[in-house]
Amino acid sequence: MSWLDRFSHGADVAKWKLSQQRRLLKIQGQIGDIEKNIIKHKGSLIELVMSMYSHGKLDDQDIVQICEDILKLQEHVRGKEEVAAEIKREKPPE
């Protein structure tokens, strides 16, 4: 194989690798889009279940327990946010 043939072969391999990477990136982007859509639907489901729970229309005890846990965690976050706000209001020593 002459140097010109090797060079040509190397260029062909590089073009193929570039094409492969482009295809992989495209598929990975599509996967990311689908995963974002899944997260969006999960968020909608959570909102619906929490709304049903807050209106007393949810009777599945497992889901009710999860909703109660979420509410406790949300209260915990609010408490931590209040502590953070207090720390921000602290004055340095004079």
- Domain-wise residue ranges, the chain: 1-58, 59-94
Q: Is 91 helix (H, G, I), strand (E, B) or coil?
A: coil
Dump pLDDT digits (tens) for 31-73.
999 999 989 988 988 998 989 888 998 888 878 888 788 889 8
Residue type, 40: K
Is the distance from CB of 53 to CB of 44 less than 8 angstroms? Answer: no
Q: How many Å apart are CA 47 and CA 53, to the nearest integer? A: 10
Q: How many Å apart are CA 75 and CA 67, to the nearest integer? A: 12
Give the H/E segment covering residue 42: helix 3-54
Which pLDDT score is estimated for 79? Answer: 92
